[in-house]
Amino acid sequence: MTALRESAIKELEKIPEDKIYFILQIMRGVNGLHNDGQSERKEAFARLEQLRKKGTVTDYDTELASYRDEKYGK
Which residue, among 36, 12, 35, 33, has the nearest Cα to 22 in the 3D structure?
12
Please give the average per-residue pLDDT across 18-40, as a whole number: 78
Measured between alpha carbons, how far is 66 from 56 in angstroms, rounded to an integer? 15
Q: Quote the pTM value.
A: 0.38
Q: Which of 20-24, 29-33, 50-54 has the highest mean pLDDT?
A: 20-24
Read off the DSSP letter of residue 22.
Answer: H
How crowded is the C-beta side of 9, counted as CA atoms within 13 Å? 6
pLDDT in tens, 35-74: 666 777 888 888 888 888 777 778 889 989 999 999 998 5
pLDDT for the residue 14: 93
Q: Other C-beta atoms within 10 Å of 8: how many?
A: 14
3-state secondary structure of 1: coil
